[in-house]
Homo-oligomer: A and B are copies of this chain.
Amino acid sequence: MSGSTFGNRFTVTTWGESHGKALGAVVDGCPAGLPLCEEDIQRLLDRRKPGRSRFATARKEGDEIEILSGVFEGRTTGTPISMMIRNTDQRSGDYGNIAYSYRPGHADYTFDQKYGFRDYRGGGRSSARETAARVAAGAIAEKILETLGIRFCAYTRSIGPVSMETFCPEEILRNSFYMPDKEAAERAGAYLENCMKHQDSAGGVIECRITGVPAGLGEPVFRKLDALLAQAVMSVGAVKAVEIGDGAAVAGMKGSEDNDGFSSENGKITKTSNHAGGIMGGISDGSEILVRASVKPTPSISRPQNTVTSSGEPISLEIHGRHDPVVVPRAVVVVEAMCALVLTDALFLNMTSRMDGIVEFYKKREGSET
């Protein structure tokens, strides 16, 4: 499978460059009969839109989604859903001065090494703008999962050294950082002001919690649920670490601390703790799934940086233009979307895990035909 397609049964193929004509996604394997309209997708897309605050690029990305196929009379038909976003605000001139230089922290050098040349306009395919297509696909996935009672809660855990201290879910959509802690958000704002004053940028941590996931999702041994979540989230541009549940902290724990025991009430078995983050042996255990992503600081900063041109000549590069001093808030919905893609696929794959489930499924269908 090529690099622009993700998933096995519920697949998404993304395409498009930052400053090309358009970008988009083709979702294949969406079941028929799901109510779907452009607004369903636009809602999620708007969460990664820039321009919500002074800490996001001033570029006006319309990000207006158009559904081109796969939906008929308001419902999905089971055939591929093609979605497109036209690029409207393409001030290419902004980027002309970096066409032949290797920006520190960017993919310019590696794209040149791999492909021999590159579309240098705005990062081309390696631009964060590519993630808009992922979010569009993720919106469909979330709609499927919602039908089954699976819910997502993604937010910014920290920006630079400023970490949330309380968890108030209602607060998430109220501040421009998507932090569940109002005061932390204010401190993060002050921190970013300072970064910008020094022509610098910041990173941070994103968390995604998923509830209502049935036990049993994930395919041992290479397509474990946590392994695919790790691939999905690490494939988001600036992510450099992925953790599940207690994550890196488990390395310092003892077995007696880390082990999640079981108890039962009225015949229903549940875990007594959730250090594992909802996944045991690569399979969902029915408790909340917790995924954490560490995001690096925006590489585009306006202070002079030493680097070279593509022909090897040293230059001092100042990157001007419209750049967020932190990408974390806009990446929150991207991480959520990627997790939704993984879960939808896992949900579908799991339907053939047992012979009895298959037999019942087809007996029922046969019955409904008569």
Say whether B259 contacts A13, CB under 8 Å.
no
Q: With A109-B285, A276-B105 as given contacts, are A68 and B253 in contact (CB-CB < 8 Å)? A: no
Known: A5-B11, A104-B259, A113-B369. 13 other contacts (CB 8 A): A13-B28, A14-B80, A24-B82, A110-B216, A110-B281, A110-B284, A240-B246, A241-B243, A250-B295, A250-B296, A256-B305, A269-B308, A348-B351
Q: In the complex, are the beta carbons of B11 and A248 less than 8 A apart?
A: no
Q: Name the residue among A2, A84, A233 with the largest chain B CB count within 10 angstroms.
A: A2
Quick one: which of A196-238 are within 8 Å of B by CB?
200-205, 214-224, 226-235, 237
A-B contact pairs, 7 of them (CB 8 A): A15-B81, A31-B355, A32-B117, A72-B121, A250-B297, A255-B299, A262-B308
CB of A215 to closest CB in B, whole Å: 4
- Number of this chain's copies in the assembly equals 4
In Å, the complex CA distance between A132 and B300 comes to 42
A193 at interface by CB-CB < 8 Å: no
A257 CA to B298 CA in the complex, in Å? 11
**A235: B residues at CB distance < 8 A:** 221-224, 226-227, 282
Q: Is A9 an interface residue (CB 8 A)?
A: yes
With A222-B235, A224-B235: A261-B306 Cβ-Cβ less than 8 Å: yes
Contact A111 B215, beta carbon cutoff 8 Å: no
Q: Give the interface size bracket for A toward B.
A: 35 or more
Which of B16, B69, B114, B286 contacts A353, CB < 8 Å? B114
Contact (Cβ within 8 A) B306 A69: no
Whole-angstrom distance between the alpha carbons of A78 and B114 in the complex?
A: 9
Tell me whether B32 and A115 are in contact (CB under 8 A): yes
Q: Are A281 and B126 in contact (CB under 8 A)?
A: yes
A268 to B311, CA, bound (A): 9
